[in-house]
Amino acid sequence: MIEEEVKGVVLKQLKIDAAVYNEDLAVGDIPAWDSVGHVNLLMAIEERFGILFDVVDATDIETVADLVEKTKDYIGQKGR
């Protein structure tokens, strides 16, 4: 399930406890999710799912929910 895989990457990249994780978690909510943390998180998601976010889409991702939805969108576009 994509949501669970994204959750695993988020927990690992941001080094947070599962109790802190929720879909409303956003850039800046925790110290590790700053601008550099954001780039590293996106790169980890790209690597895990074999996708490459467009720059505009990458800057539009502000919450975990956004990240899950964009990842789903990109996975759906693979192979087209």
pTM, full prediction: 0.92
pLDDT number for residue 80: 44
Q: Which residues of 13-44 are buried (b: 16+ CB within 10 A; e: fewer)?
A: bbebeeeeeeeebebeeeeebeeebbeebbeb
- Domains of the chain, residue spans: 2-77
DSSP state, 26? B
Report, in angstroms and rounded to the nearest whole number, the Rg of the chain calculated over CA atoms.
12
Bridge partner residues of 26 (DSSP): 63
Q: What is the mean pLDDT of each run of 10 residues along the chain (80 residues)?
A: 96 96 96 96 98 96 97 79
Which residue's entry shows tokens 């956004």?
Answer: 66
**Domain 2-77 listed as CATH 3.40.605.10:** no
pLDDT number for residue 46: 98
